Amino acid sequence: MASVTIRDVKKAFGSTQVIHGVTVSIDDGEFVVLVGPSGCGKSTLLRMIAGLENITGGEIRIGERVVNNVPPKERDIAMVFQNYALYPHMTVAANMAFSLKLRGAPKAETDERVNRAADILGLKPLLERFPRQLSGGQRQRVAMGRAIVRDPQVFLFDEPLSNLDAKLRVAMRTEIKELHQRLKTTTVYVTHDQIEAMTMADKIVVMHDGIVEQIGTPLDLYDKPENQFVAGFIGSPAMNFLKGQIKANGSAGFTGPNGVRLPLQAAPTNSEGRPAVYGIRPEHFTIADDGAEAEIVVVEPTGSETQVFAKLGGEEVVAVFRERHKFEPGDKVRLKPDPALVHLFDEQTGKRLNA
Amino acid sequence: MADIALDSRAARRPVRDASAWDRLKVNRDWLAVWFMLPAMAFLILFLAYPLGLGIWISFTDAKIGRPGEYIGFENYEWLWEDSIFWLSVFNTLLYTFVASAIKFAVGLYLALLLNENMPFKAILRALVLIPFIVPTVLSALAFWWIFDAQFSIISWSLRHLDLITENINFLGDVNWARGCVIFANIWRGVPFVAITLLAGLQTVQPSLYEAATIDGATKWQMFRHITYPLLTPIIAVVMTFSVLFTFTDFQLIWAMTRGGPVNATHLMATLSYQRAIIAGQLGEGAAISSAMIPFLLAAIMVSWFGLQRRKWQHGEAND
Ligand SMILES: Nc1ncnc2c1ncn2[C@@H]1O[C@H](COP(=O)(O)OP(=O)(O)O)[C@@H](O)[C@H]1O
Ligand SMILES: [Mg+2]
């Protein structure tokens, strides 16, 4: 196992710059998730770690070694691809044994390693099948088996679950996490799905347009997003944003769209009248007499909770309640944001304003 | 079609019981037969009939302008004793085997080369097709000229380089002539093999090579363990066709050597033409042609087994 250090890494395809200086340090044994919208450069970064793309600028280290010019096979990494990339003409066992075979490992050792990996992943009964004879989830497992057999320094995953159906995805999520707890191999995992990132990661790297927006533990990102992008990206349903001005003199507050008064625990210093964005997560609304008046538009119960879409100061917001209210479209309710859980962002830069 | 649609409506009417014929006309299993009828008619008219006729003629003593009578296996008995016929069999096998093997090797090499990323890829791919596009007779004439005893550009160049003192008698010497026609056949046949294999190469998912790179495969190991096995179904198809075309080749030989010198380049096809059309012995020519059938069937059998879907190709698609 090894740490991975990415220092000011840049990547350009021809004249198009797609990664603009990314710095991330990944500790030995850590499970790090790179998350961001499609096209932000997550795969490119991962492929640079793997050695499938060369590095335009900066430096990547695996352990102590700078690997910028080290060919993939000498980096001692294993990668799981989104489409699994299983060799269609080889059995499951041969797929998993392929790297060992190339290395010229003795047959007994190869068999033992393949069997152990098959045991861990429950692939024992499938060893003689061909990839085409497997379901999506089974193929996914074989792809992981192929990585495990190598016993590498670092596992790299590129959206490994996005070809699976929703239910299987949740199951595999847990399985991958368990696997990591068991093997404790340093892992870099790429996904566009923030739920996957939140549930699996020790540390999340949020990327956007080739830069890192924020690095932190899942709860850090949820509780203290450093900017409006991260705030909107992490959490589901997404955070509500309302534009307006901060009221700092007297008791702190926020004047939202159409003069709606919203509560604020404390205003940032020297911010009276400053235009800002007020962020509040759907789950941080309560119904209270001193809340702001809103009109219900749509009610979507999911059983465990109810999502309510409502017009607040003319803007649509989402609120989520665990308790069961009897709401009908057109009803007037008083929605109150929890002042302790409000986020304020600069209107221009999107930077976080409150502590 | 309209017929079927109308009748199915008629069949629903309970006025009269549908006859067996009516039911046959709308039966789902028979529907396939109706749809295949036109194609079958064409195949019978243009493929099966001439083939059958050819085989029939080989059992007669037909000559040009005379229908001939059934003489059993007499033509074949003649051929059995005919050393020129056996020479043509040997020539055909040699020609087919050597040309196909080299076409495969060169075609595969070119396909792999053209599959790499390189500048002017599109133009190079188009260039490779040129020998395939030029009409056979035209390229045969060009080769005839290139290999001419007096004016050969090769002889001329070699003489000017002081490598030889006399012109090489390319098409007049037994071994040279065989080499030359095989060379011309290869030149013509390589594009077909190369372009088809290139198409096959492009169906291999690039991520397989990436996975193999990470698994530590060298370029050669990738070819050996991934490209080649995934290409085998296409190789089987393309080589079957290549063997069939080469075995039945006529134009190139006829334009370059007419089977000479001293029958050294006579293939079964050219010998058949010479006996049947030039000499007028239709029955004997037809017998030579018919004698090709067992060889062709054998080639098809080999590829049939080569072509069978491999075990790994069964089941759902991989993507
Ligand atoms: N081989 C390539 N050539 C040119 N542009 C590329 C190449 N690969 C990726 N890109 C571009 O780089 C950007 C990042 O791609 P990628 O890393 O695949 O994003 P994602 O975060 O969705 O994985 C995209 O805008 C994509 O169009
Ligand atoms: Mg990607």
Q: Residue B270 falls within a domain, yes or no?
A: yes
Element (H, E) at A126: none
pLDDT in tens, A118-129: 998 889 999 999
Q: Given this model, what pLDDT does residue B309 score? A: 66
**Chain B residues in contact with A89 (beta carbon < 8 A):** 229-230, 310, 312
Residue A255's φ and ψ, nearest 5 degrees, are -100, 110
- Distance of alpha carbon A37 from alpha carbon A191, whole angstroms: 9
Q: Given this model, what pLDDT does residue B1 score? A: 45
Question: Do residues B38 and B138 share a domain?
Answer: no
Number of domains in chain B: 2
Question: Domain holding B258: CATH number?
Answer: 1.10.3720.10
Nearest to B205 among A85, A133, A150 (CB): A85
Q: Residue B160 falls within a domain, yes or no?
A: yes
Question: Do residues B51 and B142 share a domain?
Answer: no
pLDDT in tens, A113-152: 999 999 988 899 999 999 999 988 899 999 999 999 988 9
Mutate to test the interface with A, among B214, B225, B232, B313 (most CBs of A within 10 A): B214
Residue B79's φ and ψ, nearest 5 degrees, are -60, -35
Nearest residue of chain B to residue A84 (CA atoms): B207
Question: Chain B closest CA to A118's CA: distance in Å?
Answer: 18
In chain A the first and final C-alpha atoms are separated, in Å, by 37
Q: Given this model, what pLDDT does residue A27 score? A: 94
Q: Residue B13 falls within a domain, yes or no?
A: no
Q: Given this model, what pLDDT does residue B194 score? A: 92
Q: Given this model, what pLDDT does residue B174 score? A: 84
Give all strands of the β-sheet with A306-312 in edge-to-edge order. Answer: A315-321, A306-312, A285-301, A332-337
Question: Do residues B151 and B182 share a domain?
Answer: yes
- Ligand 1 and A44: CB distance under 6 A: yes
The parent domain of residue B31 ranges over: 20-57
User: What torsion, rounded to 10 degrees, do the Cα atoms B227, B232, B233, B236 define?
Assistant: 140
Neighbours of A204 (CB within 10 A): 28
Q: Residue B10 falls within a domain, yes or no?
A: no
Question: Do residues B132 and B32 share a domain?
Answer: no
Q: Residue B3 falls within a domain, yes or no?
A: no
- Which of these three, B57, B84, B103, is where a domain ends? B57
Nearest residue of chain B to residue A103 (CA atoms): B216
Question: Do residues B82 and B211 share a domain?
Answer: yes
Q: Model's pTM, two decimal places?
A: 0.81
Residue among A143, A97, A141 nearest A122 (CA): A141
Question: Do residues B181 and B211 share a domain?
Answer: yes
Q: Distance from the CA of A54 to the center of ligand 1, in angstroms?
A: 13
Question: Do residues B52 and B92 share a domain?
Answer: no
CA angle B301, B303, B309 (to 5 degrees): 110
Nearest residue of chain B to residue A88 (CA atoms): B312
Residues in chain A predicted with pLDDT less than 50, given as ranges, are: none
Instruction: Note the Cα A340 to chain centre separation in Å.
Output: 25
**Chain A residues in contact with B312 (beta carbon < 8 A):** 88-90, 130-132
> Residues 6 or more apart from A22 whose CB is under 8 A from it?
A6, A8, A9, A10, A41, A45, A58, A207, A210, A211, A212
pLDDT in tens, B100-152: 999 999 999 999 988 887 788 888 888 888 888 888 788 888 888 888 877 77
Q: Residue B5 falls within a domain, yes or no?
A: no
Question: Chain B closest CA to A350's CA: distance in Å?
Answer: 38
Q: Given this model, what pLDDT does residue B220 score? A: 93
CA torsion sign for A16, A18, A23, A24 is: negative
Q: Given this model, what pLDDT does residue B319 score? A: 46
Residue among A159, A188, A211 nearest A46 (CA): A188
Nearest to B215 among A51, A102, A131 (CB): A102
Q: Residue B193 falls within a domain, yes or no?
A: yes
Question: Do residues B122 and B46 share a domain?
Answer: no
Residue pair A142/A98 in contact by the 8 Å Cβ criterion = no
Q: Given this model, what pLDDT does residue B200 score? A: 92
Question: Do residues B53 and B199 share a domain?
Answer: no
Q: Residue B319 falls within a domain, yes or no?
A: no
> Residues 6 or more apart from A284 whose CB is under 8 A from it?
A337, A338, A341, A342
Question: Do residues B218 and B263 share a domain?
Answer: yes
Question: Do residues B193 and B261 share a domain?
Answer: yes
Question: Do residues B260 and B297 share a domain?
Answer: yes
The residue behind tokens 């019978």 is B44
pLDDT per residue as tens, chain B (319 positions): 445 445 555 445 556 677 777 777 777 777 888 888 899 898 888 888 989 999 999 888 888 888 888 888 888 888 899 899 999 999 999 999 999 999 999 999 999 988 887 788 888 888 888 888 888 788 888 888 888 877 778 878 888 887 777 777 777 888 888 998 999 899 989 999 999 999 999 999 999 999 999 999 999 999 999 999 999 888 888 988 899 999 998 988 888 888 878 888 999 999 999 988 888 888 889 999 999 999 999 988 887 777 666 767 766 554 4
- Ligand 1 and A15: CB distance under 6 A: no
Question: Chain B closest CA to A53's CA: distance in Å?
Answer: 10
Bridge partners of residue A176, in order along the sequence: none
Q: Distance from the CA of A13 to the center of ligand 1, in angstroms?
A: 8
